[in-house]
Structure 1
């Protein structure tokens, strides 16, 4: 079955690239579902229905996060830049600029935490911090 997720002939793409494209598409779909649930929840008057949708929304957050982590592990440079932006205090745009500027240099962006394992965001280091 053909899809619109490829911008190059699929038969010319490696299996790794096709998997990466599928995960990008899944991530976009999860983000879209999160937006839909947020809208539905904001207007739903029935308390039980709203509670069910909130439970579903948490599942979407989980799926989005797992897919994002998969992509970060597949693309270490992306993960490196994300470490300089995600879970950081201060100006988001400034953090993004600093992270991009320092990417690939081998030095951590200012304020970036250390990673627990290669290819992860080091979120494990936040355990027990009440976040």
Structure 2
């Protein structure tokens, strides 16, 4: 699907633009898979299948973050925006207001350190059941 999404002729795009396109489409595909697994886990009536689907979702989140990190490392604007918005505790729109107002983009905000479940811990994603939500 990614090769069908070029808006300019492939042969005139730089190798860097083609690599970024691959990374962005890989990220999109991982995010879609996360959503699909979450939906399936929410509606299944089999607890064992739910656990498998949530495990798969966790794996896809890992893949998505790896893609996002590659993109951050290769694109200065992504790097800047990720450093401005991610892992902050202030309301997102306040961070935006500070960033646009030239107040450093919320850099003084403390980084959030969410608990991270370990694969194979049996605790799933640590978000409880998705049923009934």
Give the Cα–Cα distance (whole angstroms) in 2 for the partners of residues 2 and 79 of structure 1: 23
* C-alpha contact (below 8 Å) 1:81/1:100 kept by paired residues: no
1:43 paired to 2:43: yes
Give the Cα–Cα distance (whole angstroms) in 2 for the partners of residues 10 and 32 of structure 1: 25
Structural mapping, 1:62-101, within 5 Å: 62-99=62-99
C-alpha distance after superposition, 1:13-32 (max 9, x if no partner): 01111010011011011111
Question: Structure 1 59/73 Cα, relative in aligned 2: closer, same or farther at 3 Å?
Answer: same
1:15 matched residue in structure 2: 15
Taking structure 2 as the reference length, the TM-score comes to: 0.74
1:55 matched residue in structure 2: 55
Question: Structure 1 26/92 Cα, relative in aligned 2: closer, same or farther at 3 Å?
Answer: same
Aligned residues: 116
Structure with the greater relative contact order (CA < 8 A, sep ≥ 6): 1 or 2? 2
What root-mean-square deviation, in Å, do the aligned CA atoms of Structure 1 and Structure 2 show?
Answer: 2.8
1:110 equivalent among 104, 107, 121: 107
Taking structure 1 as the reference length, the TM-score comes to: 0.75
C-alpha distance after superposition, 1:54-86 (max 9, x if no partner): 111111000000000000001122111111111
Which consecutive residues of structure 1, in runs of 5 or more, have no partner in the other structure? 114-121
C-alpha distance after superposition, 1:70-118 (max 9, x if no partner): 000011221111111111111112213433565xxxx6643257xxxxx
Give the Cα–Cα distance (whole angstroms) in 2 for the partners of residues 96 and 52 of structure 1: 38
Give the Cα–Cα distance (whole angstroms) in 2 for the partners of residues 130 and 27 of structure 1: 23
Give the Cα–Cα distance (whole angstroms) in 2 for the partners of residues 101 and 67 of structure 1: 30
Which consecutive residues of structure 2, in runs of 5 or more, have no partner in the other structure? 117-133
Report the secondary structure of 1:4's partner residue: helix
